[in-house]
A = this chain, B = another copy of it.
Amino acid sequence: MHNKPPTIKDIAQRLHLSISTVSRALRNASDINPETKKSILQLAEDLNYQPNRLALSLRQNQTNTIGVIVPNLDYVISTMVKGIDEAALEAGFTVIVCQSNESFGREVVNTRRMLNSLVDGFIISISSETKSNEHFKVLSERKIPFVVFDRVIPDLVASSVILDNEEGGFLATEHLIEQGYKKIAILAGPQTLGISNSRLDGYKKAMKKHDIRFDDELVTYCDFNQDFAFYATEELLSSKKRPDAIFAISDRMAIGAMLAIKKKGLKMPEEIGLVGFNNEPSLALFNPSISSVEQPSFEIGKLAGKIFIEQFLNNDFSSHKEVILKPKLVIRESSVRLTRKGN
């Protein structure tokens, strides 16, 4: 029947009231007769009235929407997005997600597009391609709030929620050392990416602590990609400095490494150890199951969401919170060579 959704105007006409009165009734209730209010609310209910969010946003210059920009939607990030989602839902915000597909260009386009009055601000994890931060400086200039998470933007002050990646790298490496592995290689990510370097730093720190000389021939930079990791591992395994353990800074890379190891016919964990990063659920299902560094993804997302909303509601553009959460090492078969002593 009714083709168009009811508006405040429809309600006003039906009740022979002005739209101002109806508007008041539907909002804060000040300056209005309880009786009138009741009848308005009743009719609104009957008509299934829903305020037009476009008009609202246009009028109030506020959309109650958060733009989330992520490089992809893999396991970790989609879990983080669920965290953001939850924080947003609790505060009555809507979330719009855009994948940059690890492409700088799409990141810029998406930002600009959303900026067109579609969102109140952003929660961002940059693409691995992103080196410039020009498109984000615009945000600061226009005083548009944003929070970064997971991967931070270099040289840009902003609130951030990230993992202690150095600690993650340290935990993984020290664990391998304690298991008696001597020549531990690291499959690092793209050199441009902060998380990549931090995990490498943790690796170095653990090596240093245990008086193992750092050997940069055991460091391989490659994309966050199973295939790249596969080839990189093949190369490592056939070099004369053949490592007896590999720390891959993502699970995808760990899987690639594992395939190369299997192809080579090496026994895991006896001849070679392996630790990944992120603790994707499927790792437990492999044979051998793969150890990995777990991060509190959901919490990271939820915190990022909360901080964003808090700063937005308080119009707080100056104070910058920096939250760093701790990772946890999940030990499985791929890296356990020693039988535990005692109980």
- What would 18 more interface pairs be, CB under 8 Å, given A5-B115, A73-B73? A2-B141, A3-B142, A50-B112, A50-B115, A50-B116, A52-B58, A53-B117, A53-B118, A54-B57, A54-B58, A54-B63, A82-B99, A94-B113, A255-B285, A259-B285, A285-B286, A286-B286, A287-B287
- Pick 23 A–B contacts, CB within 8 A, sort by A: A2-B141, A2-B142, A3-B142, A3-B143, A5-B115, A5-B117, A50-B112, A50-B115, A50-B116, A52-B116, A53-B118, A54-B57, A54-B58, A55-B117, A78-B78, A82-B99, A94-B113, A97-B97, A255-B282, A259-B285, A282-B282, A285-B286, A286-B286
Interface set, chain A 82-120, CB cutoff 8 A to B: 82, 85, 94, 96-97, 99, 112-113, 115-118
Determine if A313 is an interface residue (Cβ-Cβ < 8 Å): no
A210 to B159, CA, bound (A): 64
Interface set, chain A 37-77, CB cutoff 8 A to B: 50-55, 57-58, 63, 73
* Cβ contacts under 8 Å, A287 to chain B: 286-287
Determine if A1 is an interface residue (Cβ-Cβ < 8 Å): yes
Q: Look across to chain B and name the residue whose beta carbon is closest to the beta carbon of A143.
A: B3
Binding site for B on A (CB under 8 A): 1-5, 50-55, 57-58, 63, 73, 78, 82, 85, 94, 96-97, 99, 112-113, 115-118, 141-143, 255, 258-259, 282, 285-287
* Cβ contacts under 8 Å, A51 to chain B: 116
Chain B: minimal CB distance from A160 (Å): 24
Q: Look across to chain B and name the residue whose beta carbon is closest to the beta carbon of A112.
A: B50
Q: Look across to chain B and name the residue whose beta carbon is closest to the beta carbon of A94.
A: B113
Chain B: minimal CB distance from A262 (Å): 9
Cβ contact within 8 Å between B116 and A53? yes
Chain B: minimal CB distance from A84 (Å): 12
* Cβ contacts under 8 Å, A57 to chain B: 54
Contact of A58 (CB < 8 Å), options: B55, B113, B286: B55
Chain B: minimal CB distance from A71 (Å): 14
A97 to B70, CA, bound (A): 14
Q: Look across to chain B and name the residue whose beta carbon is closest to the beta carbon of A4.
A: B142
Cβ contact within 8 Å between B63 and A73? no
Would you list the 5 A-B pairs with minimal beta carbon distance, nearest first? A54-B117, A54-B58, A53-B116, A287-B287, A52-B117
* Cβ contacts under 8 Å, A116 to chain B: 5, 50-53
Chain B: minimal CB distance from A61 (Å): 9
* Cβ contacts under 8 Å, A118 to chain B: 53-54
* Cβ contacts under 8 Å, A258 to chain B: 285
